Amino acid sequence: METAAQGLIRVLVVDDQSMIRGGFEALLNSQPGIEVVGTAEDGDGITEVVGRTRPDVVLMDIRMPNVGGLEATREVLAMPGTPPRIIMLTTFDADEYVFAALRAGASGFLLKDSTPQELVQAVRVVAAGESLLAPRVTRALIADFVARPQRPGGADASLSALTERELDVLRLVARGLANREIAAELVMAEQTVKTHVSRMLGKLMLRDRTQLVVAAYESGLVRPGE
């Protein structure tokens, strides 16, 4: 049996609908290199479940009874050590909680009616340390929420520490471009793009590309609709 050290991706599914949990579990367990190590019907006691099952990725429904996905996400990401990466699940393409979940540290989100291929790819992408920014709805939601008059406060998103070249890269990251596409746009090596992204994360003390996008919008570097 494949071990975590050999690349096995351990997944926890948290959703209040048993059919969703069962469907996701069956699909993911049928994929090479992925194992569902547990399921839960809401976020109640989520830290105990995560501590016991030790997932790499959590598929977390946003809207659940008792303890919802947003609160559960905050609890999981506040756990000591290296917490799992979280993909938020929603049935709405304009869920009011999505932006808050991204700011809380979720690595992205997925609509529940996504194709099986999209779900499997999302798990692999997030487990590899990337963010789930490909769906256009993610960028639309971020743009919508940061454009509202009352923005979430306290964003540590000052970009004064970034170089002009890093700002160029950040603008394209905020548009959802992959490293390869950014490299072509700016005529640089893909590895150079990766280096710029890594340095920006360190300078801004951010977790991943999703939070870089949030920072770009909140700071005004990129404006909704661009």
Give the residue ranges of the chain where pLDDT is below 50. Answer: 1-5, 134-135, 150-157
3 state SS of 77: helix
CATH 3.40.50.2300 positions along the chain are: 4-132
pLDDT the model gives residue 2: 38
pLDDT the model gives residue 22: 94
Cβ neighbours of residue 214 closer than 8 Å, sequence gap 6 or more: 99, 102, 103, 142, 146, 155, 157
pLDDT the model gives residue 145: 57
pLDDT the model gives residue 46: 92
3 state SS of 47: helix
Strand ranges (DSSP E) for 4-98? Answer: 9-14, 34-40, 57-61, 85-90
The predicted-structure confidence for 182-215, as pLDDT tens digits, reads as follows 999 999 999 999 999 999 999 998 877 877 887 8
Q: Is the pTM of the predicted complex or chain greater than 0.75?
A: no
DSSP assignment of 111-167: ETTS-HHHHHHHHHHHHTT--B--SHHHHHHHHHHHTSSSPPS------TTS-HHHH
pLDDT the model gives residue 93: 60
Give the single-character DSSP code of 83. P
Given a contact cutoff of 8 angstroms between Cβ atoms, the answer to whether 131 and 209 are in contact is yes
The predicted-structure confidence for 98-128, as pLDDT tens digits, reads as follows 677 777 788 877 888 888 998 998 899 888 8
DSSP assignment of 166-214: HHHHHHHHHTT--HHHHHHHHTS-HHHHHHHHHHHHHHHT-SSHHHHHH
CATH class of the structural domain 155-219 = mainly alpha
Q: How far apart (Å, rounded) are the C-alpha atoms in residues 43 and 30? A: 25
pLDDT the model gives residue 136: 52
The fold of 4-132 is Rossmann fold (3.40.50)
What is the edge-to-edge ordering of all strands in the sheet holding 108-111? 34-40, 9-14, 57-61, 85-90, 108-111
pLDDT the model gives residue 108: 79
